[in-house]
Structure 1
Amino acid sequence: MADAIDSIGQPVVDPRHPDKTIGGEDRHDTHVRRIIERLLWVLGLCLLAGAAYYLHLHKGPLPGEVAFSRAVQAIHYPAWLLAVITFFSTFNDIPPSIVETTVVFIFFLLIRWWKEAIFFILTIGVGNGINILIADLVVRPRPSPKLIHVYTPLTYNSFPSGHTEHDVVFYGSLLYITFTRQVREWRYHWVLIPFQIFAVMAILGIGYSRVLEGEHWLSDVLGGYLSGTLWLFLLIFCYRGVTNMQYKRRLKKEQGRMH
């Protein structure tokens, strides 16, 4: 029973076919996929650490970043498109983010999704906390108004992008929950499709908006995506472990009743 959950935190052992998962996948393939996932996570962590160390020593823009930012800002955007792009940054500022996180957390508590509520709040707390710590250690200056147009002049903590990292852990954790079994089997799960589309757009749009507004260099945004992905998957691994223990405990109780 060691392999008790699948990639979205659900039981994978089919009692009728011990060599298959509930989804019909081969248990060996599932085990190999998990090894690859963990290997990629470690490699991603090494990449983030290496980038943070390099940018701590070389705080200026990397080759090509000034040209990239200028090219993004030189594009003539229709008013509606510019409003959409900048919306993702504004919607992700600290006050709105606190309100959004609180509302979602309370919602999970009201519907008694205790595990999901804890997973959600821990993912955001751990992700944002570690990201802030990395930024404080790197101390990379924000883009200079002398090099590109900067909407809101800021000073330090440019790497990794906090807005980008937050969107990844916030919307990523909610997307993960919407693909868990209990949600997928909900009769009205289709009503979540607009939210899922918006979540993907928010994750993709936040990075572009941060470069467009001159708040971050491209490497800051990429670092934010990497940082958010690492902490999101770290908490997903923990979520799987908890689900695994709950499943085995429930299975043990059922076996005890049978005897």
Structure 2
Amino acid sequence: MQNGFARSFALAIASLLVFAVIASLVGWHRIAWFDDRIIEAVQGRESPMLTSVMKFFSFIGSTLPVVVLTVAAMIVLYVFLKHRGELLFFAGVVIGSALLNVALKMLFRRDRPTIHRLAEETGFSFPSGHSMAAFSLYGVLVFLLWKHADKALTRGLLIVLGLGITLMIGISRIYLGVHYPSDVIGGYAASLTWLALCIAFYRRRDRR
């Protein structure tokens, strides 16, 4: 369990460093070369069917579905499973990530892309709120389900499913033209930092 705390804490530090690098490049306006290449590659595959798919993934990463899934998970944890410690952990990860996103957006105040938008969005761009919410929500769900899964295959499928949904939500925001790739990656890094920290201290508390 102590090793679990150490690994989670080390992961938090590593992802924080990744976020710091991306945030610095965004702040210094030195990341356009990266964003432009990724945007060109993603939006270059535009088609009516793909646009529909991307709008779906963007929707499931938006506020309403995230809130509904969060409330449903909290009800299951509290009412049916009686896992009150896991409920507090779950709520802390999801709510903390949302508050962190608001704070970071206000700090960086990056404008959204304005070229070739397939959807409309308001507010600041960095880091991506959809990416942070998806990574935190699906990340903490995978972690809690993984804890109670006995088979390696089940655990592997949970990780693949969680990563797949989170990745598609981030890509959808780039495809729809409402976020830069650096917004999405920065959101993942910020959310991973928070999630890994929460897991580290949850494991330490669980050990005690």
Q: Pick from 166, 188, 203: which aligns with 1:225?
A: 188
Alignment match, 1:66 = 36
Deviation at 1:43, TM superposition (A): 3.8
Name the CA distance, whole Å, in 2 between partners of 1:116 and 1:55: 36
Q: 1:233 to 1:90 in 2, by over 3 A?
A: same
CA deviation string 1:110-165 (max 9, x = no partner): 120111111111001111211221111000000013xxx11234454211111011
Name the CA distance, whole Å, in 2 between partners of 1:61 and 1:42: 22
- Larger relative contact order, structure 1 or 2 (CA cutoff 8 Å, min sep 6): 2
How many corresponding residue pairs?
Answer: 206
Q: Does 1:95 align with 2:58?
A: no
Name the CA distance, whole Å, in 2 between partners of 1:89 and 1:205: 8
* Identity within the alignment, %: 27
Alignment match, 2:26 = 55
Alignment match, 1:237 = 200
Q: Does 1:46 align with 2:13?
A: no
Note the residue ranges of structure 1 that are not aligned, 5 or more in a row. 10-33, 246-259
Deviation at 1:45, TM superposition (A): 1.8
- The structure number with the bigger radius of gyration is 1
Secondary structure of the 1:204 match is helix
Question: TM-score, normalised on structure 2?
Answer: 0.85
Deviation at 1:56, TM superposition (A): 3.2
Amino acid at match of 2:197: L
Q: 1:244 to 1:195 in 2, by over 3 A?
A: closer
Amino acid at match of 2:56: F
Deviation at 1:231, TM superposition (A): 0.7
RMSD of aligned Cα (Å): 2.7
Question: TM-score, normalised on structure 1?
Answer: 0.70
CA deviation string 1:18-74 (max 9, x = no partner): xxxxxxxxxxxxxxxx2x65344324323423432442343x861142343133112
